[in-house]
Amino acid sequence: MVEKPKLSEVLAWSGPQIADFLSGIYEHSSWVAQELVEQSDGSTSCKLDGISTIGELANAMKQIVDDSSTEQKLALLRAHPDLAAKVESMRSLTTSSQEEQSSAGLQSLTPEERQKFTTLNTAYKTKFQFPFILAVRNATKYTVLAAMEGRIQNASHVEMASALTQVHKIAWMRLLAAIDVDNRKGFLTCHVLDTANGCPAANMRIHLHRLSPSDKAGFIDEFFTNNDGRLPNGPALKGDDPFIVGTYEWTFFVADYFASKGTFVSGVPFLDQVPLRFGLDDPDEHYHVPLLVSPWSYSTYRGS
């Protein structure tokens, strides 16, 4: 496996090297990466100036697409493979696209579903004049069919915005797959509030696991909340090694906490070990993932 270059290394390369490296981020549309490093008159672009995070790099490329003409946008959309052809051959796709627009689900279509898929796919192309694009890793056939059924009803100007959102999302996943983000600024924090008693949940036991990527999966750490209901020693994850883009899970030992507080919980508690499963998508952002909990209800949200 070829090692991924670090972001700081990529940013130190020459313009042509960068443009070459990023040429496949937008499907068959190397002009986006080209414009990132070079102006239309051939002089050097300053669009890389001031960029230090992968989010800023993604935004700079997105901005180029967003500022392009309607014709360029349509060309970009049309450069994407047709899902039907993909299901047939799996050959015409760039390797990246195979991963992001998994056809696994589509290969298990029943004859009836295949008929529905083909009809929708053809109608979609006829109506919008570009192929159906869906940026969902490991999308199942249910998701693909439901998305097709929903989006084919959109007005053309709405669906164009929708399709470009998918394209930007694919670009983001490709950037993360291509570049090793060092000096990550992101961190993960937590907070537990006891909504039955109106106070922070002190001394609650919490476990943190990483669920994906699979080669980094496993138990990470155990915490006991402090008197303010927060982790006792700062962020649960911080820095290059632990703060990895992927899926994580808190486990909150809720029944134990309420038992120790004297709040009634039933024999088989309605809430005992409460899992919160969440994704970290940007290696440079702060993710605050709290729990508001009573013995009979809870909620969570992306906080700040």
Scanning residues 221 to 250, which ones bind its own copies (CB under 8 A)?
Answer: 224, 228-229, 245-247
From 18, 37, 84, 271, residue interacting with its own copies (rule: CB under 8 A)? 271
Decide if 124 contacts 148 (C-beta within 8 A): yes
| Contacts to its own copies from residues 39-78, by CB under 8 A | 65-67, 70, 73
If binding is defined by CB under 8 A, does position 128 make contact with its own copies?
A: no
Query: In the complex with its own copies, which residue's Cβ is closer, 99 or 240?
Result: 99
Among 118, 122, 129, 260, binds its own copies (CB under 8 A): 260
Rounded to a whole number of angstroms, the minimum distance from the CB of residue 286 to its own copies is 10
Distant-in-sequence, close-in-space partners of 203: CB < 8 Å, separation ≥ 6: 224, 225, 257, 260
- Residue 156: CB partners within 8 Å, gap ≥ 6? 127, 128
Name residue 251's beta-bridge partners: 207, 275
Q: Which is nearer to its own copies, 13 or 31 (CB)?
A: 31
| Residues 106/110/111/112 CA torsion (nearest 10 deg) | -100
For residue 212, the cross-strand partners are 247
Rule CB under 8 A: is residue 104 a binding residue for its own copies? no
Identify which range of 13-21, 25-33, 40-48, 142-150 contacts its own copies by CB under 8 A.
142-150
Q: Strand pairing of 192-194 and 291-294? A: parallel
Per CB under 8 A, contacts with its own copies among 279-298 are 279-282, 292, 294-298
Residue 279: in which H helix or E strand, if any? strand 273-280
User: Of the listed pieces 28-36, 44-52, 87-95, 153-161, which binds its own copies according to CB under 8 A?
Assistant: 153-161
